[in-house]
């Protein structure tokens, strides 16, 4: 299969002759005019739950940029909505939860994730099937939010800078926190599994805000729940990518949650990441998104530096160190993909 | 001098019999009702430039909480205003700059920092003199923003999550960036020096957003400017504290900019910080602000853990791992200070 070199990189089995593989976090979405046109008149969460739209949006950046994977178009709170909780995505704000979870009664009232939830995931499975059919030999990466990040939205009620209520809850009421985080782990784990069973070739568990925790809190209150989410797909033959922002101080701990590939943000050079991780860990990352706003020279210099730093890994999929900023010129991404592919194999 | 134990900790010359020393970043400000009453009808920046108000606001938390130092009440953009640039602090937003600096012409137009600037700092000197007189034996810590953080406001025009324009500028136009950062270094360095000459016993250089940089960018584009800012007080007999948020991956590099004490945020345990820094580096930090919102038991457990982790340092001043959140109950801080002081000496 011509396009499987991305999967070989993710498995740590790089084809030395292959060109670098690349995709971009948040490649589907607001930076693309065809996305903005399609989304017109449909809310974010509705578009995620309409199989035709989710599939088309997922394919758009593959078609335009010729990236080596699709990332399933969704949002970390989509499974929250499927489970029946009131949540919406407000433009310019982010996910907003109707009834933030603060008390024992709130946790008691969380719905059991049974057949209704599985049935509710049918639009996701259908969207994945359509996407995979459309993508052909290009692999699709499944998507879910990690327990800490999803739970922080549920507890805070929306985006927050320091996640103080969430982090206070885990220290103050560890048993309540554990119940909430376990619920989210099942929610996200089943969401991932549904995508893989419908055809996704790899998964990525996003823990956007986990970097606000120290290692002690992570190990005591979070790692086991991320592990539970990833365990939902551990029996399936798919690489499990795990990524957090500003989480250089947690890299080995996050890997030990059951990831097989570590996504690294732009703050930590890939060669340093390799030193921190068990030998043989494939990496994903980590072009600084700031270079999307520089002249091409600085951008390509950064891309070359990232390739060089990742060359010592047994597998390396190029990505940004964070999601594509909405104001990015799409042509910049298209050209960056072409530049990376032109680097050819044997780049170490 | 009874209260000099904080200064001994900062110098790495701990008195083994002394109780822990403590102050809190952002201890002066919105968490205090007496602050909100005094500020009524005065803008933030005007209050910083009125010596009577700045002095009173600086003293308020010392009086109420019995912390072991005052931190001079100011804002990182106060010297920007003194230099004549249009800047204001919008409630709920933060510093907003009238004309963001984006082009070579913008940098060319930056005012020379000469006698006018020194004269403009007179309200600062007067406020420091009044504060020091009022504080008596309690030391005052001077305050300034580091070049990267201050410059990021000037370039972005206000707060931003990822500082993309600023980080693109340093890669794309390194010579322009260097001129801007050098200007800010002089601005902040002179601001610090004015405070020390007027009576401050230590300084803290805040680099709130530096954690968004990788080490390579920090070393190439930022470290020398932070060093230039700190060099303005290097001939004076005052400890130089340096602090960044989410900057665990830059700790030795920031220390090497000329700090004598490293402030550490709540993400990195102090014993880990000691391993990363040159032997003998005194530390400041790093109680997780999340415990300000838990029951007392979890809060005091965290305080004890921080004391234990800092005991191996030759000096350790207790602080939060980030600023006091505005919604903090002030009594919680008062009780935390009393708890820390009750731990007594010889705590290692």
Which ipTM did the prediction report? 0.93
In chain B, the residue whose alpha carbon lies closest to the alpha carbon of A269 is: B214
Suggest the residue from B210, B211, B288 to mutate for an interface test with chain A (most A CBs closer than 10 A): B288
Which amino acids of B are annotated catalytic?
Answer: 26, 30, 39, 75, 153
Residue A161: predicted pLDDT: 87
Give the pLDDT score at B53.
98
Comparing C-alpha atoms, which of B113, B150, B129 is closest to residue B72?
A: B129
Q: What is the pLDDT of residue A348?
A: 46
Say if residue B14 is exposed, middle or buried (CB neighbours under 10 Å; 0-12, 13-18, 19+): buried
Total residue count of chain B as it appears in this document = 348
- B216–A168 C-beta distance less than 8 A: no
The Cα-based distances of B108 to B42, B105, B176 in angstroms read 33, 5, 9
| pLDDT per residue as tens digits for the range A290-326 | 999 999 999 999 999 999 999 999 999 999 999 999 9
What pLDDT does residue B348 have?
46
* CA atoms of B223 and B210, how far apart (whole Å): 10
Determine the Cα–Cα distance for residues A218 and A338; give it in Å rounded to an integer: 39
- pLDDT on residue A347: 57
**CA–CA separation, B37 vs B53, rounded Å?**
11
Across the interface, which of A163, A172, A216 has its CB nearest the CB of B294?
A: A172
pLDDT single digits (tens) A242-261: 999 999 999 999 999 999 99
What are the pLDDT tens digits along chain B (348 aa)? 444 899 999 999 999 899 999 999 999 999 999 999 999 999 999 999 999 999 999 999 999 999 999 999 999 999 999 999 999 999 888 999 999 999 999 999 999 999 999 999 999 999 999 999 999 999 999 999 999 999 999 999 999 989 999 999 999 999 999 999 999 999 999 999 999 999 999 999 999 999 999 999 999 999 999 999 999 999 999 999 999 999 999 999 999 999 999 999 999 999 999 999 999 999 999 999 999 999 999 999 999 999 999 999 999 999 999 999 999 999 999 999 999 999 976 554
CA gap B341, B348 in Å, rounded: 15
Which structure tokens are listed for A226?
A: 């991320």
Half-sphere exposure of A120 (CA within 13 A, CB side): 17
Above 60 in pLDDT, residue A2?
Answer: no
- Main-chain phi, psi angles of A276, to 5 degrees: -85, -20
Determine whether A161 is an active site residue.
no
Scan for tokens 């797909």, then name that residue.
A233
How big is chain A by its Cα radius of gyration, in Å?
Answer: 19
Please provide the size of chain A in residues: 348
Please judge whether A267 and B290 are an interchain contact, meaning their C-beta atoms are less than 8 angstroms apart: no
Please tell me the predicted confidence (pLDDT) of residue A91. Answer: 87
In chain A, the DSSP E strands lie at 21-22, 70-71, 87-90, 94-97, 140-145, 202-207, 240-244, 261-263, 283-287, 316-320
DSSP B346: -
pLDDT for A40 beyond 90: yes
pLDDT at B91: 87
Q: What mean pLDDT value characterizes chain A? A: 96
Q: What is the pLDDT of residue B347?
A: 57
Q: Give this prediction's pTM.
A: 0.95
Are B243 and B206 a contacting pair, CB within 8 Å?
yes
Q: Which helix (DSSP H) or strand (DSSP E) does residue B87 occupy?
A: strand B87-90
Contacts of A76 (CB under 8 A, 6+ apart): A95, A144, A145, A149, A150, A153, A188, A206, A208
pLDDT of A346 reads 54
Catalytic one of A75, A207, A265, A288: A75
């Amino acid at each position: 299969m011509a396009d499987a070199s991305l999967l070989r990189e993710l498995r740590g089995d790089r084809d030395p002759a292959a060109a670098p593989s690349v995709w971009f976090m948040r490649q589907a979405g607001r930076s693309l005019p065809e996305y903005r046109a399609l989304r017109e008149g449909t809310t974010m969460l509705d578009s995620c739950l309409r199989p035709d739209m989710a599939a088309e949006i997922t394919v758009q950046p593959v078609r335009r940029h010729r990236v080596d994977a699709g990332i399933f178009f969704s949002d970390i709170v989509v499974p929250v909505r499927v489970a029946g909780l009131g949540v919406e995505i407000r433009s310019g704000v982010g996910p907003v939860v109707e009834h933030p979870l603060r008390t024992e009664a709130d946790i008691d009232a969380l719905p059991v994730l049974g057949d209704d939830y599985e049935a509710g995931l049918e639009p996701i499975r259908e969207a994945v099937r359509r996407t995979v059919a459309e993508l052909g030999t290009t692999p699709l990466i499944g998507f879910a939010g990690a327990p800490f990040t999803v739970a922080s939205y549920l507890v805070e009620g929306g985006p927050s800078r320091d996640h103080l209520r969430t982090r206070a809850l885990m220290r103050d009421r560890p048993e309540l926190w554990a119940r909430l985080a376990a619920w989210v782990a099942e929610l996200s784990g089943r969401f991932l599994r549904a995508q893989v069973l419908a055809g996704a070739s790899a998964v990525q568990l996003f823990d956007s805000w986990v970097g606000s925790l120290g290692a002690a809190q992570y190990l005591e209150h979070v790692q086991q729940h991320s592990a539970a989410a990833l365990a939902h797909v551990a029996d399936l033959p798919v690489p499990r990518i795990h990524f957090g922002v500003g989480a250089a101080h947690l890299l080995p701990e996050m890997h030990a949650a059951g990831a097989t590939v570590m996504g690294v943000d732009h703050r930590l050079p890939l060669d340093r990441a390799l030193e921190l991780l068990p030998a043989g860990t494939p990496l994903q990352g980590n072009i600084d998104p700031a270079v999307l706003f520089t002249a091409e020279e600085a951008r390509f210099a950064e891309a070359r530096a990232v390739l060089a730093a990742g060359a010592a890994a047994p597998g390396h999929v190029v990505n940004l160190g964070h999601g594509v900023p909405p104001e990015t010129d799409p042509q910049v991404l298209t050209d960056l993909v072409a530049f990376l592919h032109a680097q050819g194999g044997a780049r170490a």
